[in-house]
Structure 1
């Protein structure tokens, strides 16, 4: 099968000119720290309003780990935000399938939206403590397996360490 066009940049995911950005959200969908907080701050109140609507309808108990749901991109350059909840890393429990599911489900939602270009952060590597080298291996592997048909799948890495880990996995 054709290899998807996977690219890497070191930078700010809120400044990416793509169809959709993936948000490493918390299950509340109401904003938080890291990527989640940055997307909500820069994207504005429209994103939060749609997240509240999702909570009031489909996700009353919060968005489950490994699932994904779309909202507007608000004031971002991206038309859409695809929110996904990554797993918290547990040294004594293999949660790799949940992390892979975040990427797979985000791609599914992107296809449903008609997105051709999608930017991903390093899901679960911040406050959820997933080792970045392992997260990179899982993320790159999932996009290689599931990312056919997109014009570009871009990993946007905040720092050099994450960029280097994803470059090595790629």
Structure 2
């Protein structure tokens, strides 16, 4: 049986603050809300070993597997996963960028796989459109998890592998969409960001930007999800 990692064993944002792995910033983008710090986790490892209700696959438009995280998920899930994906998009009809579809997890520890098709980065494409498509991947994935009564979900950093999306910008999108969603939905107890093994730089990016979206702060602010106006555009990328 493959290794299985419980989300409760993965460090939360609150624990990262407590261990000084991350530190508060002077100008966070969102107000402090302590109750969120125990719901967001960060780790480096194999997403196929995380025993959550749903893992998100950084899929290509065919949903038929590929390299990196996508290939690892298909290999761990077994051939039934590719068959289920073919039933979602038969023939030559691709899944559009920004969309996400859910299938069973088959041989994975997770109940479901949510296949999110992120944008392929190009200097010739509109950056705002690509950011919107990437944000949609996170929103649809989170909503799909809730719609299927999931209480836990694990994400890779979508589109930052062979699709080439700049890691700093992708992390901002991931953290922003997660912050907004968790403010408005209480069903998800655990959202785990999983760094692909060996990509230490990705972990440092998350550690740098998490405090802007999930600050520790002196108090628990509950009245608004709106960004702090004084902090807009303050993050040094």
What's the TM-score once normalised by structure 1's chain length?
0.93
Name whichever of 25-34 and 144-153 sits farther off.
144-153
In structure 1, the residue corresponding to 2:36 is in which secondary structure?
coil
In structure 1, the residue corresponding to 2:70 is in which secondary structure?
helix
In structure 2, the residue matched to 1:157 is 195
In structure 1, the residue corresponding to 2:206 is in which secondary structure?
helix
- 2:209, 2:110 → 1: CA distance? 26
- How many residues in Structure 1 have an aligned counterpart in Structure 2? 168
Map 1:1-170 to 2 at 5 A. 3=36, 5-56=39-90, 61-92=93-124, 93-94=126-127, 95-147=130-182, 148-149=185-186, 150-158=188-196, 159-170=199-210
Deviations 1:142-168 (A, max 9, x none): 100113321010000012111111121
Deviations 1:62-107 (A, max 9, x none): 1111111001101110010000100011235211111110000101
CA contact (8 A) 1:46 1:72 kept: no
In structure 2, the residue corresponding to 1:163 is in which secondary structure?
helix
Deviations 1:113-152 (A, max 9, x none): 1111000000000001111111111101110011332101
Q: Which has the larger radius of gyration?
A: 2
- 1:142, 1:136 → 2: CA distance? 10
Greater share of strand = 1
Q: Which runs of 5+ in 2 are unaligned?
A: 1-32, 211-237
Name whichever of 111-120 and 85-94 sits farther off.
85-94
Deviations 1:32-70 (A, max 9, x none): 1111110000110121111011113xx851111111100
Q: Which runs of 5+ in 1 are unaligned?
A: none
In structure 2, the residue corresponding to 1:31 is in which secondary structure?
coil
- 1:123, 1:83 → 2: CA distance? 10
Moved >4 Å (runs of 4+): none
- 1:41, 1:17 → 2: CA distance? 16
- 1:15, 1:156 → 2: CA distance? 11
